[in-house]
Structure 1
Amino acid sequence: MRVTVCELPDERSTFEAAWEALVAYVKEQKSDLVLLPELPFSSWFATTPDFDATIWQRVQQEHDAMMKRLPELAPATVLSTHLLIEEGRHLNRGFVWTPEHGYTGVHDKYYFPDEDLFYERRWFDRSPQDFTPVRVRDMVIGFMICTEVMFTEWARHYGRQGVNILAVPRATPPHARWEVAPRMAAISSGAFVISSNHAGNQLFGGRGLIIDPDGEILAETSHQTPFVTAEIDLEVSAQAKKTYPRDVQE
């Protein structure tokens, strides 16, 4: 199957052109699966320690509008996250979109940083901890949204549930940890890891990644090449689960 990852500009003035280029690229590549960055449809907003309901409403409206445009990427399956309010809680929810079934919410982000310019703990609420995979077509997909990829125990947990693709949508600065952690998640789970990121604004590092079950980078994006595609064989993931270190008994 053909998998596409990307880096998309955080800056809204250039986002529309980048989106149109991505749509054209996905059509040209005949992609089966596309991963967008974490909360891709607005500029990053959790930069202040004080929650602002007006900002949240604007960002949610921006996401709601772009979610209606996901069919532009059909017939590919699309993975990403969006924000919503549910029972009074402010959530960052990973989702799967397919042409056949539309939107399916899958996993609410559970681990939030509380750092300078990334005050997510002040902006979002937790749902009950739930790392349950979802079956889509021939894929078994698990979400590890951004900071969650640092918790490698959940990668191993997903691997034991037969996950063959781990989706790691990000909004992260440039740092080696954002290569090391996804590679370790692949090694721990025996799954392919795909990761897409925001880019630009002197805050975000870009660099989408496609990683095989042994932690080798198959493809990565750059400022010059913001979209990449790799052909993967899900059977490779099934075989990887029978080998070290996935076969080590706990």
Structure 2
Amino acid sequence: MYRMPELMRVTVCQLDNRPGHRTEAIAALADHARAAGADLVLLPEMPFSTWLGADPEPDAARWLHSVDEHRRVLAGLAFEDAAVIGSMPTAEPNGSWLNQAFVWNEASGAAAIRAKHYLPDEPGYWEATWYDRAEASQATCRVGRARVGVSICTEMWFLHTASRYAKLGVDLLCVPRVTPEETLAKWLAGGQATAVCSGAYCLSSNQWVPEQPGIAAGGLGWAIDPDGNVLATTSPGEPFVTVEVDLDLARQAKRTYPRYVAGLER
């Protein structure tokens, strides 16, 4: 019997996070999502303040200011019918600092999904110096009828997690990023591998911070189908793109190579 495809519209971006540009960029993204009829918008990693990982010296006042800025911007988001996924800094009651993935909607506000477990620590990305490594988790969330997983930036490279997301039945695997321009081709290839391993649509959004001292995030958001085909990418001339994805295609992909191979759940 013929079954209508289960379609969803998803938006990825390269968000201009420079001071003096950020507010306008967020408003423009909301306008694009509204006009495109987006069901889900993916933001970059920690998109609502200056990237702290560029500085090798952690500073409590700056971290807490970033926490407050993310809360303030989240409280004022205007995406109406679209859910929004991204990551934000948190200050936990036990004193730990985390990079927390969240899902937001207009009715309920922001809810935590999971926090970043794999942390780089090198020039431009002093993340293990700045904040704590979270417990390993592959918690997911629901957006409409889609099951959604999140791998925050560096976590994408640990492909065993993508294979585990396949076993969890994830339809969309979101990768919020802050990555430099000179490595964009490598990251896109990694996104294709992630899509194939997970049998899910791999969606990614990146900050775009050209010629900024300490960090030059290079943009290039993408949408990739479960067989690794690139559906769309962003660019400086087209910083937001929306594509229609078929959730049934992601579900069928779990039964095909290499997703069906035994042992991937371990």
Query: For this structure pair, what is the TM-score category when the shorter chain's length is used for normalisation?
Result: over 0.9
Q: Which residue of 1 aligns with 2:89?
A: 83
| Contact 2:67/2:91 (8 A) holds in 1 | no
Same amino acid, percent of matched pairs: 41
Instruction: Check if 1:56 corresponds to 2:55.
Output: no
Partner of 2:177: 170
| Letter of the 1:200 counterpart | V
The Cα shift of 1:249 comes to: 2.2
Counterpart-to-counterpart distance in 2, 1:31 and 1:142: 18
Out of 194, 198, 204, the residue aligned to residue 207 of structure 2 is 198
TM-score (norm: length of structure 1): 0.96
For residue 81 of structure 2, what is the amino acid of its counterpart?
A: P
Are positions 1:118 and 2:125 aligned together? yes
Which range is displaced more, 11-20 or 88-97?
11-20
Letter in 1 for 2:164: H
Report the 3-state secondary structure (helix = DSSP H, G, I; strand = E; otherwise coil) of the residue aligned with 1:114: coil
| 2:64/2:91 contact within 8 Å kept | no
Distance apart, 1:99 and its partner CA: 2.8
- 1:101 offset after TM fit, Å? 2.8
Secondary structure in 1 aligned to 2:21? helix
Cross-structure match for 2:4: none
Deviates more, 1:202-211 or 1:58-67: 58-67
What number of residue pairs does the alignment pair up? 249
CA distance in 1, matches of 2:114, 2:254: 23
Mapped to 1, the partners of 2:129 and 2:74 lie a distance apart of: 25
TM-score using structure 2 length: 0.91
1:178 positional shift: 1.1
Q: How does 1:200-239 map to 2 (within 5 A)?
A: 200-202=209-211, 203-239=216-252
Moved segments of 4+, more than 3 Å = none
> Which 5+ residue runs of structure 1 have no aligned equivalent?
none
Would you say the 8 A contact 2:75–2:109 is kept in 1? Answer: no
Please provide the CA RMSD for this pair: 1.1
**Alpha-carbon distance, 1:135 to partner:** 2.6
**Match status 1:147 vs 2:160:** no
Unaligned runs of 5+ in 2: 1-7
Distance of 2:114 and 2:229 partners within structure 1: 26
- Alignment equivalent of 2:259, drawn from 237, 246, 250: 246
CA shift for structure 1 position 49: 1.9
**Separation in structure 1 between the aligned mates of residue 31 and residue 106 of structure 2, nearest angstrom:** 17
Pair 144,235 (structure 1): closer, same or farther in 2 beyond 3 Å: same
- Give the aligned residue type for 2:87: T
